[in-house]
Amino acid sequence: MRIERKGNARALTPRIERFLQEALAGQALDEVQHAEKMRADYSCLRGLLAVELKTLKEEPSERIENVVNELRQRDDWPIFLGSAPLMSFVKHLENPDQARLQILARLGRAMISHLRKANKQLGAHAETFPRKNLVRIMILINEDHEEYEPSVVGYILHHAIKRMRGDFPLYPSVDSVLYLTERHAIPIQDKISFPVLSVESMNVHQEPWREIVIEHVLKKWASWSGTPLFYSEFVDQSFITIDQIPKMAPQYVRWQIAYKRRRYMEHWPDDQLRERFDELACLGKLAFTKNSPYKPSDDIICSMMAWMSHMTLEMGWRAIPLTEFQHTPERHAEAGRRLGLNDEIIHWLEND
């Protein structure tokens, strides 16, 4: 299953700011405090709710690439044909769990930085506007980065907000983090549904009335957005990344999009996939070797390249590195026989 979108998503941050003002009677604290003072962004529900907005604006790819460059130095780093999902590489390492934690730690730096700042700002808000009942939340917004998957963000935030310093929570001024993204979705009852992830601190579990306030915010968001609110446990979530379709794309990207839309090799066993790979490699050898006895037509070469772009995706998704599909003269010759090539060509494939 996949979901695609043409063009860029609408900016989410301005809509959430309007939501806080229109649906929660929020007041921007810039209006009542000097801009240089540490403060939360909004006071809502007549002061019952303090909100700090944080947006994941920067591309995380550079941060991840740094740790990947470190991992590439390892002898067990696999080689894939073209690009592949990062976890397909990690799967083949001797200590995949350790590598996975390294990647999560690097990906989580921006989130932890936002959480640390929000804790200070929400704490300062409680001192400036003291009251008996106050719920403090950080709304973390993903502006269209596919790397910030809800399951990954939830894992990082859950472990962060539960951290302790001695007998005290590390982030005592954050009752809940609400994570919103529209780069990830899932169809529910024939509707495209976006995640609203709530990660709650021990404050909420110890004082259940806080959970009622957070629940009120979620219901208001659903009502204001004009969408129903569905509930699921964190472990049951299965949101997928929306595939962004560019308006203009080179040929190989269009081939890849076509395969994503119709993944016809998905249920092929690995042996069948390997045989098709051998056939494509055989045609490639004949097409691009100077002294080959047979030159496939331009139409065959174009078709072969489209097939190979599909094969690259399928092998990456299955975490099959190139080393598992090594070329050999024997396999080339056998592929040539399946393709119906004559004996002269088969002999050349066996001996070249």
The predicted-structure confidence for 188-233, as pLDDT tens digits, reads as follows 888 888 999 999 999 898 999 999 999 999 999 999 998 888 887 7
Q: What per-residue confidence (pLDDT) applies to 234?
A: 67
Identify the band that residue 311 occupies on the pLDDT scale cut at 50, 70 and 90. Answer: very high
The average pLDDT across 296-302 equals: 95
Position 35 confidence tier, pLDDT thresholds 50, 70, 90: low
What is the average pLDDT across 284-301? 94
Percent of the chain with pLDDT over 70: 97
| CB neighbour list of residue 167: distance below 8 Å, 6 or more residues apart | none
- In angstroms, rounded to a whole number, what is the distance separating the alpha carbons of residues 97 and 340? 46
Range with the poorest average pLDDT among 54-63, 198-207, 284-293, 331-340: 54-63
Q: What is the pTM of this model?
A: 0.87
Residue 155: CB partners within 8 Å, gap ≥ 6?
104
Q: Which residues lie below 8 Å from residue 202, measured CB to CB, with a gap of 6+?
A: 162, 169
How distant is the alpha carbon of residue 167 from its chain centre? 34
The answer to whether residue 166 scores a pLDDT higher than 70 is yes
Q: Between 335 and 31, where is the model more confident?
A: 335
pLDDT at residue 33, rounded to an integer: 64
Domain boundaries, the chain: 4-244, 248-351
Describe the strand order of the beta sheet including 184-188 as a list of residue ranges. 191-193, 184-188, 240-241
Cα separation of 221 and 224, whole Å? 5
| pLDDT computed for residue 87 by the predictor | 87
Query: Picking from 118-132, 184-198, 260-274, 310-324, which range would have the lowest pLDDT averaged per residue?
Result: 184-198
Predicted local distance difference test score (pLDDT) of residue 187: 87
Q: Residues 184, 149: contact at Cβ < 8 Å?
A: yes
> Which of 7-11, 47-51, 63-67, 231-235 is modeled with the greatest confidence?
47-51
* Structural contact between residues 141 and 58, judged by C-beta atoms closer than 8 angstroms: no
One-letter amino acid of 164: M
Q: What are phi and psi of 184, to 5 degrees?
A: -130, 145
Let me know how long the chain is: 352
Residue from 250, 292, 79, 316 nearest 308 by CA: 316
pLDDT value at 118 more than 60: yes
Would you state the structure tokens that stand for residue 289, as one six-digit string? 């070797």
pLDDT of residue 190: 81
Percent of the chain clearing pLDDT 90 (strictly above): 67
Looking at residue 133, its pLDDT comes to 93
Out of 84-93, 227-236, 266-275, give the one with best mean pLDDT.
266-275
Q: What is the mean pLDDT of residues 118-144?
A: 94
User: Taking the C-alpha atoms of 39, 44, 47 and 49 in order, what is their torsion angle to the nearest 10 degrees?
Assistant: -80
Q: pLDDT averaged over the chain?
A: 91
pLDDT of residue 37: 62
How far, in Å, CA of 118 to CA of 129, rounded? 16
What average pLDDT does range 72-83 have in this prediction?
A: 89
Q: Confidence class of residue 62 from pLDDT cuts 50, 70 and 90? A: confident
Distances 236 to 233, 274, 296 between C-alpha atoms, Å: 5, 34, 50
* Overall average pLDDT of the 154-162 stretch: 93
78 or 232, higher pLDDT:
78
Residue, of 125 and 9, whose pLDDT is higher:
125
pLDDT at 100 over 80: yes
The 3-state secondary structure of the chain reads CCCEEECCCCCCHHHHHHHHHHHCCCEEHHHCCCCCCCCCCEEEHHHCEEEEEEEECCCCHHHHHHHHHHHCCCCCCCCCCCCCCHHHHHCCCCCHHHHHHHHHHHHCHHHHHHHHHHHHHHHHHHHHCCCCCCEEEEEEEECCCCCCCHHHHHHHHHHHHCCEECCEECCCCCCEEEEEECCEEEEECCEEECCEEEEECHHHHHCHHHHHHHHHHHHHHHHHHCCCCCCCCHHHCCCEECEEECCCCCHHHHHHHHHHHCCCCCCCCHHHHHHHHHHHHHHHHHHHCCCCCCCCCHHHHHHHHHHHHHHHHHHHHCCCCHHHHCCCHHHHHHHHHHCCCCHHHHHHHHHC
Within 10 angstroms of residue 300's Cβ, the number of other Cβ atoms is: 13
The rounded distance, in Å, linking the Cα atoms of 47 and 177 is: 18
